[in-house]
Amino acid sequence: MSTNKSFPWTDVPKGEVINISNIKNPLDSKRLKNAKPKTLSESVAELEKNPIVANALVELKNKKKTFDPTKIGTVKLQQIGKGTFLEETQRLVIPRHIADIMENCQEELLSPAFATSSDDGNNPIFDTQHGLNVVGLLAKHGLWEGVDPTKWEEFEYPFFVVDNSDIAFANEAAYHRNGKGQKKWTAFDFHRIKVAGVRQHKSKIKEYVDAEKRQTICEKHEAIPVPASHPQKGKAGTLDRIDAVYNWSHKTLDFILATHKKYWHGTKIDSAVFGLYGHLYDNFKAKHIPMTGPAFDEFLDNFHAIIKKCFTDLQNLRKETENAHVAWHEVAYPNIKNHKLNSTNCALAIVLKIYQRLQGTHPLTNDVNDYNYANHDIYDYLDEIDVHEAVNNA
């Protein structure tokens, strides 16, 4: 591919054809429709082959460690009035959270009350404080079918009771239920639930439908969202920044990924694409600059010829942008302590500044004027690479 000869640089990157069928799409429509749950037997058999798990098992056996099944908590129906709350074990109750739960309350989504035992016959709660308070409020106000509001404390509700009356244990159990040793859900896990909700269960929830549309846009441009643990993460055709996918409108996301495919397909999708192409699209649109036709196509070719000539690819553009920002910010804003880049249009501003210096004639967005303060322009701080030499020799 080459640009119009009036622009000094004509070597434009070109996306490669890649075999996308090699990428295992965790949210593939066909796979999700036919997905069958794994049995515990299958899961355990798979895990015991894992070297980390196998080592942990060997260690337990070497230490002759065994576990007592009678110490596991048991589920029983208990009168809700037996639940007690200790501030050290549970947080202070948050009324707003109570109101939110009541507003969206679905019976099937309520958790059992997690509790310990105590000598006075009550059950100190170590998790589900807000849930149990909601249950109590609904019971007292006659909102549970078949429950007498005058005897609301006798309403029987599932409790998971651990027979341990040591208050220190309740505190430790609360810590475990609320974070200690738990693996937090990642942005991909939330995305997966929403997309699967639509593809497997035909959910109509607005938020889920939106997520599925974003997934479809990604798949259309062969940018398959994968979690951090995916064995193919980083390979061309995968996308590992699902959080960034939610920062842009559907049309902007479509432009971002289509542009990446046209110019860079075959190279890992760097997170730089989102700020670079996202602001380009949104800000061109805001200024009513046409984004179709030969003039825009030529501009995009010239834009990419700059990236290839000066930075080779988007990953290097991002790194050089981060370095230049720190160098520029230290001089432009010497009284501010943090010089780290925290805006997303900086790479775009740098490429547009170079375009302007090369006498490019296409209308530009206002980003070209950013990162210029007190006569210090970020362009002058691109000193780690050969940009100035290349621009001067163009």
Partner 1 sequence: MPKIKLPEKCGWFYVLRLRHNGTLGFGRTAIKNIKNYLQKRYIYPCANKDQVFDYLYYGKYSQICALENHIKNELSDKLLILCKDKVEWFDPKENITDKQLLDFIEKRCKLHYPEIFKVKKEFLPFSPSNVFKNLHEDLDKFLVTIH
Return residues touching partner 1 (CB under 8 A). Answer: 11, 13, 16, 231-236, 267-268, 310-313, 315-316, 385-386, 389-390
The nearer residue to partner 1, 342 or 393, going by C-beta atoms, is 393
CA 337 to each of CA 31, 329, 346, 382: distance values in angstroms, whole numbers, following the listed order: 50, 10, 19, 21
The nearer residue to partner 1, 52 or 374, going by C-beta atoms, is 52
Give min distance, CB of 14 to partner 1, in A.
9
The nearer residue to partner 1, 274 or 281, going by C-beta atoms, is 274
The nearer residue to partner 1, 216 or 315, going by C-beta atoms, is 315
How many CB atoms neighbour CB 19 within 10 A?
A: 9
Q: What pairs with residue 79 in β-bridges?
A: 156
- Half-sphere exposure at residue 12, Cβ-oriented, CA atoms within 13 angstroms: 22
Closest-CA residue to 128 (of 113, 110, 109) = 113
Asked if 264 contacts 15 with a C-beta cutoff of 8 angstroms, the reply is: yes
The nearer residue to partner 1, 13 or 124, going by C-beta atoms, is 13
The nearer residue to partner 1, 12 or 80, going by C-beta atoms, is 12
The nearer residue to partner 1, 238 or 252, going by C-beta atoms, is 238
Give min distance, CB of 300 to partner 1, in A.
18
Structure tokens at 187: 């942005």
Distance, CA of 111 to CA of 108 (rounded, Å): 8
Closest-CA residue to 342 (of 354, 333, 355) = 333
Give min distance, CB of 176 to partner 1, in A.
24
Give min distance, CB of 56 to partner 1, in A.
15
> Amino acid identity of 328?
W
Structure tokens at 259: 């542009």
Give min distance, CB of 309 to partner 1, in A.
10
> Amino acid identity of 200?
Q
Burial class (CB in 10 A: 0-12, 13-18, 19+), 351: buried
Give min distance, CB of 177 to partner 1, in A.
27
Give min distance, CB of 344 to partner 1, in A.
21
